[in-house]
Amino acid sequence: MENPLDLFLRVSKAVLNVIASAALTFMMFLTVADIILRATGHPLVGTYEIVSLSLALVIGFGIPRVSMDRGHVYMEILLAKLSPRNKAIMNTCTRILCLFLFILIAYNLFSVGAEFHASGEVSPTIRLPFFPVAYAVGVCCFIECLVFIADILKIWRGQYE
């Protein structure tokens, strides 16, 4: 039976993947439409801003999925020479470092989001607010922290790799 953390991460992975995929697809269609309309002399106003904010969503919502799928680059040469115990220690240490890094990133994104919200900061052309994107990516960073915690638990249960 699946533990609650793994179940939450599996569902989160699916939801975040749909959101990131939709944002990427939207970016693609918006860019193509802007290019076509620009050729006819009627460019879409605010395309750069919308694409920039959508890219933040694609990256932020994609990070937990890539980690869960172990799609990141690994140092196989180094890890292959380590004993299973040392490999577990190395994997745990890297996950702990990444955990602290993503806690810091998430905290800062929430701080910046609060500043954006309090100041009413918006994009210059079409006046889109920035704070929802900062909060959304901050939530994704906290989910990434849960991925690292789940990885650490799997490493020491012998279920990793």
pLDDT the model gives residue 161: 67
pTM: 0.88
Other beta carbons within 10 Å of 80: 8
Confidence label for 157 from pLDDT (cuts 50, 70 and 90): confident
- CA-wise closest residue to 45 among 58, 54, 55, 34: 34
- Average pLDDT over every residue of 130-159: 93
Are 70 and 148 within 8 A, CB to CB? Answer: no
Q: 3 exposed, middle or buried (CB, 10 Å; 0-12, 13-18, 19+)?
A: exposed
In the chain, the percentage of residues whose pLDDT exceeds 90 is 74
User: Pick the residue with more confidence: 161 or 24?
Assistant: 24
Residue 82 has pLDDT above 90, yes or no: no
Average pLDDT taken over every residue of the chain: 91
Quote the tokens at residue 83. Answer: 């004993």
- Average pLDDT over every residue of 113-139: 95
User: Pick the residue with more confidence: 80 or 45?
Assistant: 45
Confidence label for 91 from pLDDT (cuts 50, 70 and 90): confident
Confidence label for 3 from pLDDT (cuts 50, 70 and 90): confident
pLDDT the model gives residue 1: 60
Integer Cα distance of 136 and 142 in angstroms? 10
